[in-house]
Structure 1
Amino acid sequence: MSDYIHWSLAGTGLSLRGCNVDEILSERPDVRWFEALVDAHIVDGGERLHNLERIREHYPVTLHGLGLALGSTSPLDTGYLVRIRALADRIDASWISDHICFTSLGNCFSHEVLPLPYTEEALDHIASRIMQVQDFLGRRILLENPARYLGYNHSTLSEGEFMAEMAERADCYLLLDVNNSYVTQHNLGADALDTIDCLPPQRVREIHLAGYDERDGCMLGGHNNPVREPVWALYEAAQKRFTGTPTLIEWEHDIPDLKDALRDVRRAKRVMHRAQNGLRKPAGVPAQGVRSPG
């Protein structure tokens, strides 16, 4: 299997959304790369694919999905894998990422990122399926931690321990979603800094930043707001451990104007620069708020 990763990809990227394509192409913002949703682009033609190819003429592109269903027990969808491989080849994708989750049960596909129990049995299962997918695609993939709203009583491993061991067994890479880690910490009490400390730096190849929602005491990883201050503080810690790791500002809903999205891109750039140069956080940027009380 080829280690098909564009190691030259660096700096800060942004989610690619159709409403911003024309503005991106006319203004050519200072963004190092864009991330496209797999499931929106595995088509034979049409405007979305055309726009993706237009963006690819000027920027590197990564592919991000939730349809691999690596934690599910249903057979892997080879037709889906064929289409992903064809799209990745067509646009010369820098890498492909998905989630540590199950999304299907039998013939029912949930379109949700559903969490796994963190057990040895689940580790064996998902590692085996990751290896099958990587063999089929001919490249290593990146797997992302989901935002979690429930835990399993029979879990025997922490999230960080599970991710680290999964990456080792499957020989895959990791995508650390800092916003999701903070949401999980708030909802379940799982220490986000412990998760970061568990992950082997050589396996973490991308970081996601996004905004969350709060409803009735529960935190939701909605990816529909600017990055919040506690997540920025956690990102500072992540960049100290995974210095220089490419970082994406992720939006899924309530997409802002491009100029507004670029504010977080620029701030992520500054955090990365400080980590690379060993600089302290400037005055006026709060460091507190990483850990939820209790």
Structure 2
Amino acid sequence: MGDRRNYSDGFWWSRDGIRLHYREYAGPADRPPLLCFPGLTRNARDYEGLAERLAAQWRVLCIEFRGRGESGYAKDPMSYVPLTYFQDVEALLEEREIGKFVAIGTSLGGLVTMLLAATERDKLAGVVLNDVGPEINPAGLARIRTYVGKAVWYPTWMHAARGLAEGNADVYPNYEIEDWLRMAKRLYRVNSSGRIVLDYDMKIAEPFRVPGNEAGPDMWPTIDAMQGLPLLIVRGERSDILSEETAAKMIGRVKGAELVTVPQVGHAPTLEEPEAVAGIERLLARVASAQ
């Protein structure tokens, strides 16, 4: 990883003065770009495989939310919430004059995508929601609380890979050490002391500690707002975040929406699995035919 750089770095400013980062993979200008939004503790590297596969046919922007990767950290940790991330994306759309785009959102990134559907519906050319919906399984939320914001470090990449394997074997039961090593290099970075540490601000966990903060607004109307859009919902078969019942309900509310279940994977699919790849290709074919 990292031997071949086929993207450029882009930056924009949030409305409260934070310099934010995205990776841009060049593609045709006559198609709407793909905007990829990562999960809670993740960054632009999560979308390397997808972006490299699609860049020849589509322009791809892999966003890093505030507090992740090369984006600046927030002074106020209580700004680490979906509404603020959504406002940061709005600032990007305005600054880069992006009029139409395909949104691909994993977990937290999917929540941001849903908020965009509610307010920027006319800018969406298509939507991929990866293992997330308007109702989140409490068991999955409890699991996330056990690890988010807890600083860990490792002396070598192999130690980091083995640490990930120990904590996530139920999520990716078929992973080999090479897969865990690849994931480690997406999740971690080398700090100034030479230690391998998580690549996000530990303070992103603070909003989770506010009692009742998990009870957000009713998000089902955001799904209804996607009516008429090409919509793909990807669900990990072993997911503890997006239940089968919620996924089925989502499909039932949006005519023409497609559900793809990735076997033997929990939360969340990487979107590099064959089932997810095929589903995204079908969705993008629909987007292209509508242009």
Alignment TM-score, normalising by the size of structure 2: 0.37
Alignment TM-score, normalising by the size of structure 1: 0.37
